[in-house]
Amino acid sequence: MSILVVGSVALDRVETPFGVADGVLGGAASYFALTAALFDRVYMVAVVGTDFPQTYLDLFRQRNIDLEGLQILPGKTFRWTGRYHHDMNTRDTLDTQLNVFADFHPRIPENYLSADLVFLANILPTLQLEVVQQVPRAQLRVMDTMDLWIRETRAELETTIRHVDIVLMTEEEVRLFAGVPSLRLAVRAIHRLGPRWVIVKQGPYGALLFGADESFFAAPAYPLEEVRDPTGAGDAFAGGFIGYLSRLPADQWNSAAFKRALVYGNIMGSFVCEDFSVNRLLQVTPEDIAARYAEFRAFTHFDPDWR
């Protein structure tokens, strides 16, 4: 099948207790696309400036990512600067220069309209809606969002949520959206708008999958020895989750398949944290992924007996 992603492509400066990376490839669409492309063909809808390095364009192309929907506009590429705290989980945004991303208006090429799976990375809900409405044949529509849109464009966000199958949020975002501390009750507020699944991202604690049918699945995080740079982990998670599903016929997207997809999401999120920017993603092999999947089973499964 094929996967369409709309979102940001950026040049990042990331500071961690372990080092600094400057001018490196970043943005939700970059992390997502480079991950999902390990599984299937990816169509990218995004914008960069004329300063965007040719090497990164070449990289996307080499990696099975179609760039017909990537606009290259006069001006500078979106730049983000962040600094991680000692715990490597919390971070401060030191600087954001939207540049050409400020007026981003997604443009969907004709041959993207056949995409089977769509990932609406974190952009303005109205733009997410515009995109998803142009891909009517999509069989799986997944959206991310952020606290800013929950606070400032609530009505638009709700409208977009009504048009997707799966909502991806951090646990803080779910609670903020619903206004209740119980995660389980908060998730129901999202299900009531229509999505069949809600995925709650818990950073270093893994991810939870809630079905509108009250089904539940929990996948802990992979126990990394060292987190070098967690930037993009949520988007790599989405890339693993959606990428895995795209390899299955849609009639096999049952509850068991969604569980496996959640684990693939966790796996890809864990790889990304092992190095700065997208570096680790460029090295990871199918064998690495399969080995980590086997490890996940070993450290989460236990025997049924009760004595």
Q: In the complex, which residues of this chain contact a second copy (CB under 8 A)?
A: 17, 86-88, 181-185, 202, 205-206, 208, 216-221, 223-227, 247-248, 256, 259-260, 262-263, 289-290, 293-294, 297, 299-307
Residue among 189, 190, 191, 209 nearest 199 (CA): 209
The answer to whether the CB of 143 falls within 8 A of the CB of 133 is no
Cα(299)–Cα(288) distance, integer angstroms: 17
CB-wise, 87 or 147, nearer to a second copy? 87
CB-wise, 136 or 249, nearer to a second copy? 249
CB-wise, 78 or 84, nearer to a second copy? 84
- Give the pair of three-digit tokens for residue 210: 């809630």
Backbone angles phi, psi at 250, to 5 degrees: -60, -30
CB-wise, 158 or 171, nearer to a second copy? 171
Q: Which residues contact 276 (CB under 8 A, 6 or more apart)?
A: 14, 19, 21, 24, 228, 229, 231
Residue among 273, 306, 307, 304 nearest 35 (CA): 273
Least CB distance from residue 150 to a second copy, whole Å? Answer: 17
CB-wise, 100 or 200, nearer to a second copy? 200
CB-wise, 66 or 116, nearer to a second copy? 116
Q: What angle do CA 273, 31, 292 make, to 5 degrees?
A: 45
Cα(280)–Cα(229) distance, integer angstroms: 10
* Residues written for the chain: 307
Least CB distance from residue 81 to a second copy, whole Å? Answer: 22
Cα(75)–Cα(211) distance, integer angstroms: 43
Least CB distance from residue 168 to a second copy, whole Å? Answer: 18
Cα(36)–Cα(34) distance, integer angstroms: 6
Least CB distance from residue 254 to a second copy, whole Å? Answer: 11
Least CB distance from residue 197 to a second copy, whole Å? Answer: 14
Least CB distance from residue 90 to a second copy, whole Å? Answer: 11
Least CB distance from residue 208 to a second copy, whole Å? Answer: 7
SS3 123: coil
Cα(9)–Cα(67) distance, integer angstroms: 12
CB-wise, 91 or 259, nearer to a second copy? 259
Least CB distance from residue 41 to a second copy, whole Å? Answer: 16
Least CB distance from residue 243 to a second copy, whole Å? Answer: 12
CB-wise, 163 or 260, nearer to a second copy? 260
Cα(177)–Cα(94) distance, integer angstroms: 25
CB-wise, 105 or 307, nearer to a second copy? 307
Q: Which residues contact 18 (CB under 8 A, 6 or more apart)?
A: 226, 228, 229
